[in-house]
């Protein structure tokens, strides 16, 4: 005679969500890329536009997730361009400042 074993489902305690300085407006990126960007913003506490910060973010993305990343920071800008699918991130740094990050196409070198 088989005995019925009672199964209990246990749930791991929900991880406390980390608060980041930037708010994600839109992202089609891999979660690792998004977290990488948010962590850099937290580390350097960027709160305004800065060419140095854009270069730091771009260099970090290029070295970690392949080349051709683009980083824009500003209050009011618009444009149109092509980018690699699933690499777009738009972040809100504060009420007047947004950051747009994406990877552009690069012709293969022969």
Q: What does the domain layout of the chain look like in residue ranges?
A: 23-103
Cα 73 to Cα 90: distance, rounded to the nearest angstrom: 10
Residues 6+ positions from 99 with CB-CB distance below 8 Å: 22, 41, 71, 72, 73, 89, 90, 91, 92, 93
Q: Which CATH number fits domain 23-103: 3.30.740.10, 2.40.110.10, 3.40.50.300, 3.90.600.10?
A: 3.30.740.10
In this model, does residue 13 exceed pLDDT 50?
no
Q: Give the pLDDT mean for 47-54.
A: 74
pLDDT value of residue 94: 84
17 falls in which pLDDT band (50, 70, 90)? Answer: low
47 falls in which pLDDT band (50, 70, 90)? Answer: low
């Amino acid at each position: 005679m088989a005995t019925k074993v009672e199964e209990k489902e246990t749930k791991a305690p929900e991880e406390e969500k980390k608060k980041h300085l930037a708010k994600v407006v839109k992202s089609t990126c891999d979660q690792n890329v998004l977290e990488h960007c948010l962590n850099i913003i937290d580390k350097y506490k960027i709160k305004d536009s800065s060419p140095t910060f854009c270069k730091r973010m771009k260099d970090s993305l290029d070295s970690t997730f392949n080349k051709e990343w683009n980083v824009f920071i500003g209050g009011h800008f618009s444009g149109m361009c092509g980018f690699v699918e699933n690499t777009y991130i738009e972040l809100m740094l504060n009420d007047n400042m947004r950051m747009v990050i994406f990877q552009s196409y690069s012709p293969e070198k022969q």
